[in-house]
Structure 1
Amino acid sequence: MDDDLIDSSRLPLSRKSLLPGTGFFYPDSLDEDRDDERVQEAVEGAEVVVIADADADGLGSVALLREMYDAALDVEPFEAAIAERLAGEEWSDEEDEEDDDAPESPVALVGASPHNLEDEMARVAEFADDGVEVYVCDLCPDRYEYVEEELADLLAHASSVRWFDHHQWRDEVAAEVREAGVDLVVGESEEECTTDVALRSLDYEFDEKFVDLATVTRDHDLWLREDPRSDDLADYAYWTGAEEYVTVVGTYGAELPEIVEEYIAERRVEKEQLIDLAVSRAEIKEVGPWTVGITYGRCSQNEVAEALREQGTDAAVIVKPAGSASIRGTEGFERCHEVAAQVNGGGHPKAAGCKPDIYDDMLDYAHHWSTQGSAAKRVILAAFERLAEEEAEEVDDAEGDVVDEGESDGDSSDEESADGDDEGIETER
């Protein structure tokens, strides 16, 4: 296949927004080989390994750990690389990946997602040195059996495994992870981000800039939107390589340097255009008691959700070209995780993600791209409908209970009266 066919950076923005990035088209077999090499290079000889979600929250936790272990990298080479990117003429899908020749920290970073957590655990168990300390940050397995075997191997290989998270864990999953021998700390999902959890759980006196970093990271991760710096952190973590992000925020905290701010401003020109395209495609649906905005496109889901909220929606769904979807709520809808749980996903009451299990072959993906996610939209809206039906049934049951209680009181009085009559009759007889 001609590489140009999968390089969406060459496309007009209107078409680029409809298709996934270049990495989507790499076969899993090639990705697995590349991931094996990536993890092996990162963890061999490392004293500590952190398996973390590669968003601002997961990477913020890595920055804390590198500070605690005095293992932060020098920021100057990364700033020089940013300057080179700024001097370039266009952004490509792959240009901000990690440099294979970049220096390595004795606190190794292994990026993971909820969908490949067990795979990364297995790689760390295979390639890391015996007795390594392992941390898992900002990741939550839906079921214990998904990670049971890999976690057992990791525990047998490592000297310790600590796990920091803030997602909504099922009680039985948390109990089984702890029983396996993991030091698991789960924060309140509506009050803390994982960086908060790491900050309070690690036995170290962190500088104030790390406290500020946790606060600003929380502002975005919990969708509080009270500090404008939180959007900068989230965008920067999304657009650049994980090692660069960890090093820069480990050096500067949430007060990003001027060159990074310039880089973010440059990237936001295209970001805003992609947001506008997604918002223009949105449909507004009434589902039970809720107004749901649903759209499709490669875009920043949080800003699209905010735009739809301003149009009066209680919830927003952004279906992505790669097949996944983001679900965002408001004060009027705090059940995003319940919708996602029905569609192969999970998350928080006001922010969740999923990937409907509807893609059996490339024809399904071709249909997905050409119809702007019509099948995924139907599946996710159906999940909202089921939730609305359950809520209506609960209301009906509650109202029925009230009526039953009233009828029961009347029946009881009648029965007592009848019993008295019967007793009187019996006595007379």
Structure 2
Amino acid sequence: MSQARNHGVHHRPVRSFGDRAAAAGASARRRVVAQLSAGAPVLPVLPVVVVAVVVSADLVGGAGMIWLPLLAAGPALAATTNGPRGVLCVGVLTVAVGAILGIRDGGPGRELIAVLSALVAVTLASGLAGALRGRRERVLAAVRSVAETAQHALLRPVPSTVGPFQVAVRYSAAAAEARIGGDLYALIPTPHGVRLIVGDVRGKGLPAVGTAALVLGVFREAAHDEADLLAVVDRIERSLARNLGHDDFVTAVVAGYPQGGRLEVVNCGHTPPLLVRASGDVMPVEPDLPSPPLGLRALAGQTPGLQELPFAEGDQLLLYTDGVTEARDHGRAFYPLAEGLERHVTHEPARTLDALHDELLAHVGGRLHDDAALLLIRKPVPYEAHAVPAPAPVAGVRCCS
């Protein structure tokens, strides 16, 4: 036997009759589950229960033909969960049961024919409704797939480490079925250092998604081409000025890390980022010079300013959209993001954002009514990756110098 194992020969264990029967039963259960999931013509449970209730009422009450029209509820209910084949199975069952009960109760022939004809008509109509529902579900699944593909194309997944930073992102679209909205973010390494953007497009729906795609496309190109961060913002502004309407705009924060220990920030009418020092202190990064949103520079006549921040090891920067800070609870109170960040900040950005996102959803009662994006970067401390835990002291042993 050992030689067989060494040469890679596998012996199949001999099964008893009981084992084979149990395996056959499990296989049958799996086939039934597969049929249910594939929409095979098996009888739905709830419509069959309805038919059983009608039969019981007729047998117990003995009221003749009065209960038979209620059998039409069977195929009507089947249409809500099953395709045409499942509805047809329930319809055949209801017509057969109706004919048997009608003959048993001795009802008039014309009334029985009318009831059975109504059951056939309801079955056909329910089958058509089930087919249309299945078609709509397939279309919706295709739309969801396209939306998910568009989200991955626009809001590309961000790795946990980009350049010298630990990174985490959380995004929630208000249109949960679409999985994409008007908030945008990107973080990319460039020859000029790591650069990132978090923004919020005015409006919702497909126009907002189109504007977000435009901003992200220009940012990704300009971030590689332009050495000056203000030049990156200028290119986005020029592109939006050519393509947006007079009432459209984008609020955004564009940041860069061109050299060690310094962080550049350009705030274009966006909510101020939150800076977390290594000591745990949380402070908003208010712009030195208020700047208009992207797309409104020609109307406001102001140009954005570049702000430099010291960004040391252990510091963190949280960029977010107003869908986070304007989220309200049942008492109409806003979510206190700075306080939540101070409570949940850790050395792992992913854990921090997980806690913040869970608390945000709990604050609003489980469903956000606006798009919300969170992007957190952290400059790790070198010794964290190489720290070795000190050995535990051994009882009875004392060290001497």
How does the TM-score come out when normalised to structure 1? 0.22
Structure index of larger Rg: 2
The structure with the largest helix share of the pair is 1
